[in-house]
Amino acid sequence: MAFFDGCGIVRMEEMLGCWKGSGVPTGHPFDGLLEAFGWHGKRFGSPDETHPLVFEGAAGLFSVNPALLPVSLAVRFNRLLRTPPMPVISRRLVRMARTSKPRARLRMMEYRGVVTATMSYDALPINDHFRRVDADTMIGVMDFRSIDRPFLFVLRHEPCEDSRQRVSHPRA
């Protein structure tokens, strides 16, 4: 958290575009779990058109409705979800939660004493707070009401996969 606290604030406009995500190993129950299920990252079309969970499948990238995922159960049974063949089964289940609709919004919110870009999930008590590492890299903290400690992840800006997802990325 000291590294996160030392990073710069992020304006909402800086988050627009497509981002490749990866977890930051901290001993959190989610460490490596999203990647095992095919998590690719996030997509921000506008402050009100945010796709919080973008996964990768054989046919390319797709957005998932987080409200259809058993997030609380994933926290409780994260060790079980890591055993074979659970990642394979979970990838199939994630595909069933596909959506084309945005499922989160970007807003400026205070977190740990700093106002920065924050993604709020529409149907879950989750806020992802962002800080800038550099012009193309953000560090995020998932603040989930049911978890006693935050999950950290990194987002790296990338070109959007197709014209429907193409959004310009303003440089910091």
Report whether pLDDT(10) > 50: yes
Q: What is the pLDDT of residue 167?
A: 40
Does a structural domain hold residue 30? yes
Over residues 93-118, the mean pLDDT reads: 97
Does a structural domain hold residue 52? yes
Which CATH number does the domain housing residue 148 bear?
Answer: 2.40.128.580
pLDDT digit string, tens, across residues 120-146: 999 999 999 999 999 999 999 999 988
Return the amino acid letter for 87: P
Does a structural domain hold residue 98? yes
Confidence bin at 172 (pLDDT 50/70/90): very low
pLDDT digit string, tens, across residues 64-75: 999 998 877 777
Mean pLDDT for the chain overall:
90
Q: List the one residue out of 110, 141, 114, 139 whose CA is nearest residue 126.
A: 141
Q: CA distances (Å), 44 to each of 57, 101, 132, 141, in order?
A: 20, 12, 16, 17
Does a structural domain hold residue 172? no
Over residues 78-93, the mean pLDDT reads: 82
Q: How many domains is the chain built from?
A: 1
Does a structural domain hold residue 105? yes
Does a structural domain hold residue 169? no
Does a structural domain hold residue 109? yes
Query: Which residues, including other chains, have CB under 8 Å from residue 70's CB and lie 6 or more apart?
Result: none
Which has more pLDDT, 108 or 167? 108
Confidence bin at 2 (pLDDT 50/70/90): very high
CA dist 136 and 75 (Å) reads 30
Q: List the one residue out of 153, 148, 116 whose CA is nearest residue 138.
A: 153
Q: What is the pLDDT of residue 71?
A: 77
Does a structural domain hold residue 23? yes
pLDDT digit string, tens, across residues 18-62: 999 999 999 998 999 999 899 999 999 999 999 999 999 999 999
Q: What is the pLDDT of residue 162?
A: 65
pTM of the model: 0.88
Domain that holds residue 96: 2-158
